[in-house]
C-alpha cells in the first residue's frame, strides 16, 4: 500500500546491501525472493518517475503480478503489489529489488546481490 505524500526517489535508492535486505524481511522470505529472481520470475523491472515498477510471476498461481515500490516523504519504503500482501514488503517486491540490483551485469550471479555491497542513500524501513 502506498503512503502519501510520495517523493521522487533516485535509481540508486533501490539498491540494497545485505544488512538493508535483512532489515526489510527475514531470511526465509529473502531466500524465496532469491529463487524467484534466479528462476527469472521477474519478467519486467524498471525505474521510472521516482518509483521501481515491476512484473513478477507468482510461483504458486503462475500469474503475472504488477507491483510498485517507492518512498514516502519520511524516507520509508512503500510497496504496492497485486498479490494483496498486508503490511511489509512481499516476496514479489523483494524479488524485484534483487533483480533490479543485479540487472545490467551479465557476469553477476543473483546470490552475489546479498553480499555485493550496494548501498542506497535511504534508510531501509518499510511502512
**Tell me: the pLDDT tens digits for 2-44?**
445 567 889 999 999 989 999 999 999 999 999 999 999 999 9
pTM as predicted? 0.76
**Tell me: the pLDDT tens digits for 55-113?**
999 988 889 999 999 999 899 999 999 998 877 899 999 999 999 988 754 334 344 44
CA distance 55 to 64: 6
Q: What is the DSSP string of 81-103?
A: ETT---SS--HHHHHHHHHHHHT
> Which of the pair, 50 or 62, is modelled with greater confidence?
50
Q: Output the pLDDT for position 54.
A: 97
Which uninterrupted H or E stretch holds 28? helix 27-38
* pLDDT surpassing 80 at residue 120: no
Every domain of the chain and the residues it spans: 6-114
Amino acid at each position: 500500500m502506498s503512503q502519501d505524500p510520495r517523493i521522487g526517489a533516485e535509481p540508486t535508492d533501490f539498491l540494497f546491501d545485505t544488512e538493508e535486505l535483512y532489515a526489510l524481511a527475514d531470511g526465509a522470505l529473502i531466500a524465496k525472493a532469491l529463487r524467484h529472481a534466479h528462476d527469472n520470475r521477474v519478467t519486467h523491472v524498471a525505474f521510472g518517475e521516482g518509483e521501481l515498477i515491476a512484473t513478477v510471476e507468482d510461483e504458486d498461481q503462475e500469474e503475472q503480478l504488477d507491483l510498485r515500490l517507492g518512498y514516502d516523504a519520511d524516507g520509508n519504503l512503500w510497496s504496492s503489489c497485486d498479490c494483496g500482501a498486508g503490511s511489509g514488503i512481499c516476496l514479489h517486491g523483494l524479488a524485484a529489488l534483487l533483480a533490479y540490483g543485479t540487472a545490467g551485469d551479465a557476469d553477476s550471479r543473483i546470490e552475489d546481490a546479498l553480499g555485493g555491497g550496494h548501498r542506497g542513500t535511504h534508510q531501509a524501513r518499510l511502512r
